[in-house]
Amino acid sequence: MQVIETKLKGCYIVEPVKFGDSRGYFFESFNERTFNKLTGTETHFVQDNQSFSTRGVLRGLHAQAGDHAQAKLVRVLQGAVLDVAVDVRPGSDTYGQYVAVELSVENNRQLFVPRGFLHGFVVLSEVATFFYKCDNFYNKDSECGIHPLDQDLAVDWQIPIEELLLSDKDKEAQSFAAFTAQVVK
């Protein structure tokens, strides 16, 4: 396993070592001991989630707040997505900055999104199956987020806006400016 730190401290691209021959391939998608050693974290995942979406579906930007904050290790089991993590840790030098990484079944890349980050993705392929591990249980009352097309963040989702499919919840999400004011209080 190779771990590459992104421009956002604590947010890592994880590349497993893939072994293949005429029968197919094998790779270890996660090993807690190796992962924690390479990232310097003490992450223990307690929940796995999976979603299936079609091209242009944009999910996010979401986070769990307070005691229910979650770190995630995300990957694609089918297709390709552009995965985005936004640093919203109060006092962080990279507050409001984002990293975008293409995750696909071909590149086997994963993204570790630490606590204190908003997270979202858009499907680039015709369909995608998205899988993620969380280090804390989901709590509906602790969910927060911002509108994924917020101009202050200006995330380049790599798909024309008119082709994006958002949930009603994401269409009605608050602006980054409103979120920032909430965090600063």
- Does residue 132 have an active-site annotation? yes
- Does residue 138 have an active-site annotation? no
Catalytic residue among 12, 119, 132, 147: 132
Residue 133 burial class via C-beta count within 10 angstroms: exposed 0-12, middle 13-18, buried 19 and up: buried
Question: 79, 128 in Cβ contact below 8 A?
Answer: yes
Question: 124, 29 in Cβ contact below 8 A?
Answer: no
d(CA 118, CA 69): 10
Catalytic residues: 62, 132
